Amino acid sequence: MANVFPSWINRAPLRIIGCLLLVVGGIISGIYYYMTPKWARVGYEPVQPVAFSHDIHVSQLGMDCRYCHTFVDRSEHSNVPATNTCMACHSMVQTDSPALQPVRDSYANGEPIPWVRVHKTPDYVFFNHSVHVNRGVSCVECHGQVNEMETVYHAKPLSMAFCLDCHRNPEKHIRPLDKVYDLTWKPESEKAQLEMGEELVQHWKVNPPESCSGCHR
């Protein structure tokens, strides 16, 4: 009796299983790789070339965010301070600290300190820092309590859902302009926040975009 099926059909199940294993393995590997803190970002806390403590500089010394991030209220980007900003103080304070040797070297040779970037939006996302801080969005809304961090880490997801939650309910997240850089300020209650937020939304005519083109340009 002639064979109905060709002989290669006997190996088909093994090939199908092999392909499925490769596909499943690829999916698992991709999820594992891209969902680590380095990519999902939440909890990402890289070691920096200089151990800079926001807790000391902001909470203890009372420095304003804009002293180092000078263009945050005037630019799309929040700049990392140049070495001469650091040396404005450290040419007089802790001048012999071994921890600050990279800062002194950078100041002497003109090479920038190779800070490791912590917060990063994708290239296809448009985000303007100045628009947000000038409409009452404080640093803590996106970056967490930076003023309490010994080492800056990625505290908030900064996902599309995270951004849309604020855009759809801005009254829950904005504050008076004189409190934007006061990272310890909190409203008296949730009700007080909503009442104040609704008033500011009307006064400033806050209308954050919710369409795709608002952020994906």
Judge contact between 175 and 136, C-beta under 8 A: yes
- One digit per residue, pLDDT tens: the chain, 217 residues? 556 767 777 777 888 888 999 999 888 887 776 666 666 789 999 999 999 999 999 999 999 999 999 999 999 999 999 999 999 999 999 999 999 999 999 999 999 999 999 998 888 899 999 999 999 999 999 999 999 999 999 999 898 999 999 999 999 999 999 999 999 999 999 999 999 999 999 999 999 999 999 999 8
The pLDDT, as a whole number, for residue 135 is 97
CA distance 128 to 126: 7
CA distance 54 to 65: 10
Give the containing element (helix H, strand E) for 133: helix 129-133
Q: Where are the domains of the chain?
A: 54-80+115-215
* pTM of the full structure: 0.81
Q: How far is CA 58 from CA 17, 68, 153, in A?
A: 58, 11, 16
The pLDDT, as a whole number, for residue 3 is 66
Q: How far is CA 11 from CA 2, 19, 23, 39, 98, in A?
A: 19, 12, 19, 40, 67
Neighbours of 89 (CB within 10 A): 13
Closest by Cα among 149, 121, 118, 141 to 44: 118
The pLDDT, as a whole number, for residue 33 is 67
